[in-house]
Amino acid sequence: MLTLMIYPSAFGLFSASPFCVKAAYMLEHAGQRWQRSDMLDPRKMPHQKLPVLRTPERLVPDSDLIRDWLEAQGANFDTGLSDIQKAQARTLIRMAEEHIYFQVVQDRWANDEVWPILRKTFFSVIPALIRTPASNSIRKKVVQGLGFQGVGRFSPAERQDRLERDLEAISAYLWQSPYLLGDRPTSADMSVGPMLAAMRATPVETPLTQRIKQDRLLNDYVDRMEQAIPLP
Ligand SMILES: N[C@@H](CCC(=O)N[C@@H](CS)C(=O)NCC(=O)O)C(=O)O
């Protein structure tokens, strides 16, 4: 059986990581038999990130490579989409994973109110004696990474404005149909849905959590997506 190595469930989500939820959606949608294996420390994984899929032959890191692997087994996440719609799916996925994701990371990791909850959630396996310095050092690296990526260099108002434009683009699709590209979930939903769910689930009220919760279109979409592909 396939094993999906992922971060544990947290904040009411199947996994704290939207990429892990995406991979789980893809496995379910592909009709594969699989089990989850939770871990908090990805350092021994090929990319030192999760998710990773253990197949009979090898470890497949990265949700997009997991998608490729599943497609090589015959899965089709974009059934019925035209070439233009497939291109739109690809751009929506990139927007979610390469921009919105970092907004979520900023909201979780750079917020002093969220930090005690994150520390408790993600670092409980570190021995108590070194937990504070070790977790502080990881937090520092994550926040430095946000500066390197660029999201961390904007003011909160500028960040919110950039995010708003992405959410407006997503909403423009959702005014047309229940899922981004039609009446059923496709690859774009399997990436955008978990990203917005993660944004909504940050365990402290922030402008980002409220932005999703108070927007009926987006909030209902997150719920709809969670119901469309129930995860074990
Ligand atoms: N491109 C990767 C991104 C995965 C990713 O960023 N995973 C994060 C959790 S959301 C991670 O494992 N981070 C650990 C680290 O960077 O040390 C994918 O699509 O799977």
CATH of domain 83-228: 1.20.1050.10
Domain with CATH 3.40.30.10 in the chain: 2-72
How crowded is residue 215: how many other Cβ atoms within 10 Å of its Cβ?
Answer: 17
The partner residues of 3 in beta bridges, in order of sequence, read 35, 54
User: Which tokens belong to 27?
Assistant: 């496995």
Tens of pLDDT, residue by residue over 138-189, are: 999 999 999 999 999 999 999 999 999 999 999 999 999 999 999 999 999 9
Work out the pLDDT band at 132, boundaries 50, 70, 90. Answer: very high
Return the ligand 1 atom nearest residue 18 CA.
10
Residue 51 beta carbon below 6 angstroms from any ligand 1 atom: yes
pLDDT at 73: 97
Q: How far is the CA of 176 from the centre of ligand 1 (A)?
A: 31
Contact 18/196 with Cβ under 8 angstroms?
no
What does the DSSP 8-state code read for residue 35? E
Atom 6, ligand 1: residue with shortest CA distance: 49
pLDDT reported for residue 128:
87
Q: What is the pLDDT of residue 124?
A: 87
Residues pairing with 179 in the sheet: 182
In the chain, which segments carry CATH 1.20.1050.10? 83-228
Nearest CA to ligand 1 atom 2: 62
Mutation test residue for ligand 1: of 19, 100, 102, the one with most atoms within 8 Å of CB: 19
Q: State whether the beta carbon of 191 lies less than 6 angstroms from ligand 1.
A: no
CB crowding 141-167: b at 16 or more within 10 Å, else e: eeeeebeeeebbebeeeebeeebeebb
Distance 183 CA to ligand 1 centre (A): 29
Q: What is the mean pLDDT of residues 46-73?
A: 98
What CATH code would you report for 2-72? 3.40.30.10
Give residue 175 CA to ligand 1 midpoint distance, Å: 31
